[in-house]
Structure 1
Amino acid sequence: MVASGKGKGFGGSFSGPVLGRRGVFALGGLSAGAGVLSACGGNTGRGEADGDGPVLSQWYHEYGEAGTQQAALDYAAAYPDARVGVEWIPGDYDAALSSGLLAEDEAPDCFESHLNRGMVEAGQLEPLDDLVADVIDDIPESDLARNTLDGTVYGIRMIDDPQYIVYRPSMFEAAGIAGPPETFDELVDMAVELDSGEVKGIDFGEASGADRLGQHMIHSLGLSFIGADRQAGFDDARMAEGAGSVRRLSESGALLLGAPTAWWDPSSMLQGLTAMSWTGLWTMPALLEGLGDDIGIFPCPGFAGGAPTVFNGGWSAFVNANGPNVEAAKAFTKWLWVDHEEFILDWCLSYGFHIPSRLSLRAQADELTSGPAAEAVAIADEFGWAEDPDWTPAMNTAVNDMMSNIVIEGADPEEELAAAVATVNDELDGIFG
């Protein structure tokens, strides 16, 4: 029910593709017609209209949850005012989208992604204020903010996916551990206690958490990715201290490495390979089916005296401002992601669990009102944070490189923090300077 390859889960990446002021990040090609699926018989993406209205191309990354592909096709086929070809993009979706938006004949009319300033400044995103005007009070404030830049709404949130740590209460009890950790250092100690050799303490993925924990650390410590002065907002000695805690986990031997699937797939938990694992709400149905009531969850514990955190990932719908049928693409996007609430609920609850991005629909999501799923919603509300549209992939890479160099390579934390801050400041100077 969940993804089985990199980038296929519902959670989404922290930063989308960027075409910024200083150039184009065309990170990889997309062969003509790659991954194309027909929503209308023999249609294979954008082609010639046949009297049934305009022909639109809609792009998704390759979701792994069973049924999602067919659902996307069914939604498109139900639309009466255009022929909609659905492209299911495998592999590195952000790179494919960066390239695809530059291809005149193959570019999508509408697509899912994450808002960033580079796409706006490149003129790629059509404003969508008019599409959400009638439901704007029904959109959670955080979902509206993550799709708004300089007062203009560019995206419509499709799903919210909190990411957290899942654990086996039975294994905690057997090890004499009373409950979830309150600090990241306590998490390291518990992982060591839970490590029996055959069953590891925790699965953070092959990168040992270096590909996400730096961002959580920033939020945990009450810092900002980008400060009010438009410089890196995380130049704080506690960052180096927190990175040292992650390195201690990496050196402890308690991490599950070489898992059969990546972190966003629950296989390591379902197969009893680990007592704890980083995951997201989309895996909840599979975990409930496989483990019953032997499931507990908790947010990422705080670093260096900071607070717990939950990254609220997910995806949003956008319209290509340079497409041949902009108004038709806007009409379809509104029809699917604003007007047809039954499709939104189906997408959020039938193929894995996701929090709907409308307050009124959250009230109808019975599947999220009890058990661990309800706990996930609660910690997302209490500790959740989302991406900053001004945070670019290059900035994200700088933080990930900092963490990887400290955690895996054993580099000096203070020096790596200074290098990451310098890289982010250079990026910001290029954007706002």
Structure 2
Amino acid sequence: MSALSSSNWDRRNVLRAALGLTAAGGLAACGSNTGRSSGGSGSGLVQYFHAYGEAGTEQAIKRYAKAYSKANVTTNWITGNNFEAKLFSSLLTKQAPDVFEFHPQLQMVKSGQVADLSDLIDPVKDDFNPADIKSHTVDGKIYGIRMIDDPQFFYYRKSMLEKAKVDVPTTLDELLEAAAKLTTGKVKGVFLGNDFTAVQNPLIFSAGADTLNEKNEIAYHTDGVVEGLKKLRQLFTSGNVLLDAPTDFWDPSALDQGLCAIQWGGMWSMPVMQKALGDDLGIFPFPAIGSSGKQSVYNGGWSMFVNAKGKNVDAAKEYVKWLWIDQKKYQEDWALSYGFHIPPRTSIANGATKLKSGLPAEAVKLFTDYGHFDNIAFDQAMQTAFNDVIATSVRKNGNPEAALDTCDKKVNVELKKLFG
């Protein structure tokens, strides 16, 4: 069992709980007792983190906070499988955190939930990956500081592919063929996560499509995406896919323990997988789909935000600047000591010796060549709507076109809310 197995939350699934879920209430903020009357008031600051699976992460975040001399910073390390719901519900209460990690979301900018951090980032803006800056920028202002970039791709056992005389797949058709040849009595050909939702963004990108276009209109409803959904349905029903893994895609144990020959996962798992499998480990991007498709690597990751509706906005911004702008040693430690992530700061990434050779260097190259970033306008409700497409047309036998039509209606409602 890997270190990641301690977390039972599919923590980097692109399908996060819809913002609307929290409006109904009934979800209390979760975490350690701060010893103060409310989460975001008093003499200290409160920060929210989801429970990372990598060993040592909780201790590291608390160690950084303890080193900050200008305020007492309390960390709520939120375990369980619904970090988003707990975060959103807490933001509606007096228990709201001053600082929290999340992903860039236009809805949170439009509602005034997250503070403009341009003044913190502008002096070092050129040291950040431009795509990370773009994905956090609205009307020229930057909301949130990227902490880590998390490229996702397929891992595979080289020896298993060699034994079955299977080449590394470059198209989705080839992946289906490989899965069939690699499936034996106890080993399934491929694992794409327990409900296939982990690959929904790569499915869109590899079909040559996108979530939204530059005019903030639907861009995922294409013939290529329909074809991809049909292929995933074939995979799902083929008997060549691991469907009941003990843990989900974020955990490397399915491949490490020999349950499958190919597994979808993230760069964060690489150190644990290399320790288990050594040189028998390889990686490849999500394969191309259809005639206009291209291989893709989805970049997940986490960013730090300041609660603009909190009582300690200035103090929170000062802390965030100290930790995520000024303290490069802590930023490097966070990205490279508890799993592998790509530092969003170019100066740190350039000095990251752990990523300079072997499989980590290959992962960085895949990220550079094939990487796709989140669109800040494709919000929670939209992601959940596409989640339903996967459920209907892949896990069930629904018509992909009809499922996408239903998704379109939901997404257009959200787009109208955001853009009028």
TM-score of the aligned structures, taking structure 1 as reference length: 0.91
Equivalent of residue 98 in structure 1, options 88, 98, 113: 88
Alignment of 1:177-326 (within 5 A): 177=166, 179-207=167-195, 209=196, 211-305=197-291, 306-326=293-313
Cα displacement (A) at 1:46: 4.6
Q: Is the 8 A contact 2:21 2:85 kept in 1?
A: no
Q: 2 CA distance for matches of 1:414 and 1:48? A: 49
Equivalent residue, structure 1, for 2:23: 26
SS in 2 for 1:59: strand
Q: Deviations over 1:13-36 (max 9, x none)?
A: 455864xxxx7843764546x321
- Correspondence 1:81 to 2:77: no
Q: 2 CA distance for matches of 1:48 and 1:313? A: 31
Q: How many residues matched?
A: 416
- Correspondence 1:171 to 2:160: yes
Equivalent residue, structure 1, for 2:108: 119
SS in 1 for 2:231: helix
SS in 2 for 1:352: coil
Q: Is the 8 A contact 1:147 1:155 kept in 2?
A: yes
Equivalent residue, structure 2, for 1:334: 321
SS in 2 for 1:64: coil
Q: 1 CA distance for matches of 2:410 and 2:370? A: 28
Going from structure 1 to structure 2, the CA distance change for 1:45 and 1:348 (only over 3 Å counts) comes to farther
Q: 1 CA distance for matches of 2:40 and 2:367? A: 42
Q: Deviations over 1:368-427 (max 9, x none)?
A: 111111111110111111111111222112222112211121112222222222322222
- More displaced 10-residue stretch of structure 1: 84-93 or 213-222: 213-222
Q: Counting helix residues as a fraction of each chain, which structure ranks higher?
A: 2
Q: Which amino acid is the alignment partner of residue 432 of structure 1?
A: F
Going from structure 1 to structure 2, the CA distance change for 1:362 and 1:428 (only over 3 Å counts) comes to same
Q: Is the 8 A contact 1:239 1:417 kept in 2?
A: no
Q: 2 CA distance for matches of 1:323 and 1:407? A: 42
Q: Is the 8 A contact 1:203 1:256 kept in 2?
A: yes
Equivalent of residue 421 in structure 1, options 399, 408, 418: 408
Q: Is the 8 A contact 1:125 1:319 kept in 2?
A: yes
| Structure 1: unaligned runs, 5 residues or longer | none
Q: 2 CA distance for matches of 1:164 and 1:321? A: 35
- Correspondence 1:157 to 2:146: yes
Q: Which amino acid is the alignment partner of residue 32 of structure 2?
A: V
Equivalent residue, structure 2, for 1:7: 9
Cα displacement (A) at 1:223: 2.3
| Structure 2: unaligned runs, 5 residues or longer | none
Equivalent residue, structure 2, for 1:107: 96
- Correspondence 1:375 to 2:365: no
Equivalent of residue 384 in structure 1, options 371, 390, 409: 371
Q: Is the 8 A contact 2:39 2:96 kept in 1?
A: no
- More displaced 10-residue stretch of structure 1: 189-198 or 23-32: 23-32
Q: 2 CA distance for matches of 1:13 and 1:213? A: 8
SS in 2 for 1:36: coil
Q: 2 CA distance for matches of 1:358 and 1:114? A: 17
Q: 1 CA distance for matches of 2:280 and 2:240? A: 21
Q: 2 CA distance for matches of 1:28 and 1:196? A: 48
Q: Is the 8 A contact 1:310 1:384 kept in 2?
A: yes
Q: 1 CA distance for matches of 2:10 and 2:155? A: 20
Q: 1 CA distance for matches of 2:178 and 2:304? A: 40
Q: Is the 8 A contact 1:2 1:64 kept in 2?
A: yes
Cα displacement (A) at 1:231: 2.5
Q: Which amino acid is the alignment partner of residue 291 of structure 1?
A: L
Q: Which amino acid is the alignment partner of residue 350 of structure 1?
A: S
Report the RMSD for the aligned CA atoms in angstroms: 2.1
Equivalent residue, structure 1, for 2:32: 36
Going from structure 1 to structure 2, the CA distance change for 1:229 and 1:332 (only over 3 Å counts) comes to closer
